[in-house]
Amino acid sequence: MRKFIINETEKERILNLHQTAIKKQNITETLEAVVSSMSDPELQKYNKAIQCFLNKKGITDDNGDKLVIDGSIGNYPNSKSAQAIYNYQKMVKAYPVDGKWGQDTMSKMSDEDKKMYKECLSQYEDIIDKIINFFL
């Protein structure tokens, strides 16, 4: 067994790294739970916003085609939308690169991309969503 002697500053740094990792894991699990609990119409709005964003960014499927905004994502590699997500993930160096939109992908978005994505979200929101987001 080895013993390590660390100073208070290093101890705080290690604890902060641990707390940050736990928070990221909780955020990811929360986002996945929210998405998996969405009703079909809610999930379609969310997916349409993703497709809208990827089209605005010029991210295409593996054939170089823009996405049809239909609210259906599917799974990589068979889904054109999942292919575009995969291509975006490679571009922003997200991990994992799996064709699934989630917190890991969103955390790599630039401020400009976040703004563009938010515009797409608002485009596909219903009136209740818009009122709620107005106050947030």
User: Per the structure block, which two tokens stand in for 32?
Assistant: 């996945």
Cα distance between residue 112 and residue 71, in whole Å:
23
The DSSP secondary-structure symbol of 107 reads T
* Sequential pLDDT tens for the chain (136 residues): 677 677 888 777 777 776 666 655 555 555 555 555 555 777 888 899 999 999 999 999 999 999 999 999 999 999 999 999 999 999 999 999 999 998 899 999 999 999 999 999 888 876 555 555 555 5
Buried b (16+ CB within 10 A) or exposed e, 111-130: eebeebbeebbeebbeeeee
pLDDT of residue 4: 67
**C-alpha distances in Å from residue 116, one per residue of 18, 77, 110:** 32, 25, 10
